[in-house]
Amino acid sequence: MVVKCRWIQQRFAGNEVKAMDMVLATTPPAEFSTAPRHHHHHRVLHILTQSATISLPHLKQIHAKILRTAPPPHQSPQIDYLYSRLLHFSALQDLIYTLKLFQNIPNPNNFVYNTLIRAYAHSKLHKKRAFSVFQQLLERESLLPDKHTFPFVLKACAFLFDLREGKQAHAQSLKRGFASDVYVSNSLIHFYASCGLQEDASKVFDKMPERSLVSWNAIIDALVLAGDFDEALRMFAMMIPSFEPDGYTVQSVIDACAGLGALSMGMWLHAYVLKKCVIEPSFDVLVNNSLIEMYYKCGSMRMALQLLESMSRRDVNSWNAAILGLAAHGEAERVFDHFDRMINEDNLRPNSITFVGVLSACNHRGLVNEGHRYFDLMANEYNVEPVLQHYGCLIDLLARRGRIDEALDIVSSMPVKPDDVIWRSLLDASCKQDEGIDLSQEMAKRLMEGDGSESSGAYVLLSRVFASANRWDEVGLIRKLMMDKGVDKEPGCSSVEVDGVIHEFFAGDTTHPRSREIYQFLKWIEERVKMAGYVHDLSQAPLVDEDQDGKGDSLRLHSEKLAIAFALLNSKPGAAPIRVFKNLRICNDCHNFIKLISRVMNVEIIIRDRRRFHRFSNGSCSCMDFW
């Protein structure tokens, strides 16, 4: 029986496996030997070009037929293409078989080399070999890399953070005349951004004579990866007149809004997505998840939960975003409720990130019993293996509740090595609870012995121990030790959005054009809160050799106080809450000060610090003074 090509063309799309079986299994071997070889290759080529996937057993059958009927290469120019297609399908399934195929191709062409490079670039274990195959290609005098070669090589280098080999590939692309190729340039932007070289990524983008949507997506994503959120939003504004954003663009820009705390821009972007962007169904949930995260990071938990409830389809990441947001806002009971709803309403299993959120909620509220219960539930019922973040939440919870011995027992028994975050949380807890200077010094020593030796955190916390005990000589010694080791204290920085514009302030900042007015207004506010009972907490003073008045002056100039003063200067009665975003944890002095401002000035203030959200209203804070 001879299977006609016309029948294959008509039926092939509907049942690929059946078509291949008809060609490879039901056709007698003798018929293959008597039929014209080029006719047989046409039929096999049709299978290899029209199939979306081919199983490895079928692929090996095709390979065997080609070997049995193949004419000399000079008589059939299709042979190279047949082998390149074989290589393409085998690379998706078996790299060992792929390499054997490659080694038996007499004259591999560019497509063959590119296919093998791409196979290694996409593999989990053999990405390093992509560059070695690229080097083999360069050594072939008769072949040259093309515009498809470099993106595959650079993708592998980006994944491996291999700067040396990636730069070599960049040099070769320039040497071969691909400096202006949009595909190669896009790959270079991604490569440099992945290696943390944002400046180099921007240089490539700036030199591009022609850009695609992928180019803009690559540079915006690179800027977000680098934490340059302002520049990412500026690039987005430049892109819009020429290109319609897609799902990748939207996700990156939403992340930039979340990083800045730019609620107005985030809401505008949400509206823009609803009105103008055609988001693929596969991106719909991803974009909504990013919006939920953006809203909660911008301090609008109400909008985040409204969006969650409106989603027609939710995955575990949708619930995780809501749970993490509620935990950061200190709403533990609602976290537990959403945890139950995720399991019961959407029939989803919690994962490792879910339990980070739930344990964080327990930690922010000091719920020790609940923390133990969910930690046990995670391992025993859902088979989620605890990692450092889970242990860190439980240890911090116990330590801050005064159960430092219990926390230390967990540190000594857990199967992973404690990191700087755990030692810092233990040091912080010992500082706040007067556990003794000796214990605090021991914690600080452990922290400085680890990767935190160049960080200012341990020095600052230990200085507060001495400051609380009025041992200012030791505070001075710590400052000298920091200077000797070249450790700089991270400057406090706060941002606030007023009329859609983000204003940034550093501690003691005088660069703002309205600095004089801000300082005068802050002094007036301080006089009013002093009448309400405010007194400086000098234990929060920075590491400086000053007299008592000098320490008080330094506390007046903390960045969040400047940001709040500026926002109050420009706010109208009945305006939305003031939202301030700070890079460090809020200190006791500022916390007390802002509580009184909220009462005296009758204003709601939301602070997002490094650890959590604080919602100040009518003289109290949502954290209930536990943070």
The closest of 328, 274, 266 to 295, measured between CA atoms, is 266
Cα 462 to Cα 484: distance, rounded to the nearest angstrom: 17
Task: Please state whether beta strands 578-582 and 501-506 pair in parallel, antiparallel, or not at all (unpaired).
Answer: unpaired
**Rg over CA atoms, the chain:** 31
Yes or no: say if 257 and 265 are a contact pair by the CB < 8 Å rule. Answer: yes
Structure tokens given for 193: 């951004």
CA trace torsion 534, 535, 538, 544 (10° rounding): 80
Picking from 128, 130, 136, the residue whose alpha carbon sits closest to that of residue 116 is 130
Question: Would the pLDDT of 14 be above 70?
Answer: no
What is the spatial distance between Cα 101 and Cα 291, in angstroms, rounded to a whole number? 47
pLDDT in tens, 119-173: 888 777 677 888 888 998 988 878 889 988 999 899 989 988 999 999 999 999 9
> What tens digit of pLDDT does each residue of 349-375 get?
999 999 999 999 999 999 999 999 999
pLDDT tens-digit series, residues 202-218: 999 999 999 999 999 99
Between residues 27 and 604, the one the model is more confident about: 604
Terminal Cα-to-Cα distance of the chain (whole angstroms)? 80
Query: SS3 of 496, please?
Result: strand
Between 269 and 598, the more confident residue is 598
Q: Give the residue, 236 or 451, on which the prediction is more confident.
A: 236
Render 242-261 in DSSP notation, one character per residue: T----HHHHHHHHHHHHHHT
3-class DSSP assignment, residue 381? coil
Q: Cα 218 vs. chain centroid, distance in angstroms?
A: 15
Res. 175 pLDDT band, cuts 50 70 90: very high
Distance between CA atoms of residues 392 and 371, nearest Å: 12
Strands 605-608 and 578-582, bridge-based pairing: parallel
pLDDT in tens, 66-115: 777 665 554 455 666 777 777 777 777 777 788 888 887 777 888 888 88
* Reported confidence tier of residue 576, pLDDT bands at 50, 70, 90: confident
Q: What does pTM read for this prediction?
A: 0.80
Mean pLDDT of the chain: 84
Reported as a single tens digit per residue, the pLDDT across 237-251 is: 999 999 988 888 989
Confidence of residue 49 (pLDDT cuts 50, 70, 90): low
The answer to whether 580 touches 609, Cβ cutoff 8 Å, is no
Can you give the pLDDT at residue 442?
75
| β-pair partners for 243 | none
Identity at 32, one-letter amino acid code = F
Across the beta sheet with 620-621, the strand order is: 501-506, 493-498, 578-582, 605-608, 613-617, 620-621
Residue 495 CA neighbour count, 13 Å, CB half: 19
433 has pLDDT over 90: no
Helix (H) or strand (E) segment spanning residue 605: strand 605-608
Ordered by start, the domain boundaries in the chain are: 1-106, 419-489, 494-621
Which is more confidently placed, 458 or 202?
202
| Dist CA 392 CA 574 (whole Å) | 41
Please name which of 586, 599, 614 lies closest in space to residue 532, comparing C-alpha atoms: 599
